[in-house]
């Protein structure tokens, strides 16, 4: 199971998330809610993760069926 470490980054809603590979993701909330523009919004990251997981699954299925995908948008 994937593990992360979440560290408060010195501002009210700013965090650094460090994954098991050492990749750091900076997160913050929008300025209207007290954010300071430190990093990406968590909801945007969640949507990016969902899109990435779905795309990898689709490409894996196509590869198993020996099919090639020309364009992904």
pLDDT in tens, 6-51: 999 988 999 999 999 999 999 999 999 999 999 999 999 999 999 9
* Per-residue confidence (pLDDT) for residue 61, from 0 to 100: 92
Please give the span between the terminal C-alpha atoms of the chain, in angstroms, as a whole number. 29
Q: Which domain holds residue 52?
A: 4-64
Q: Is the pLDDT of residue 68 over 90?
A: no
The domain total for the chain is 1
pTM of model > 0.85: no
Residue 63: left if φ>0, alpha if ψ -120 to 50, beta else—which one? alpha
* Per-residue confidence (pLDDT) for residue 72, from 0 to 100: 67
């Amino acid at each position: 199971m994937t593990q992360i470490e979440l560290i408060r980054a010195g501002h009210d809603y700013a965090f650094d998330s460090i994954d098991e590979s050492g990749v750091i993701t900076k997160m913050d909330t929008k300025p209207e809610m007290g954010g300071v523009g430190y990093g990406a919004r968590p909801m945007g990251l969640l949507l990016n993760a969902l899109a990435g997981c779905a795309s990898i699954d689709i490409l894996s299925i196509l590869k198993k069926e020996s099919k090639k995908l020309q364009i992904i948008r």
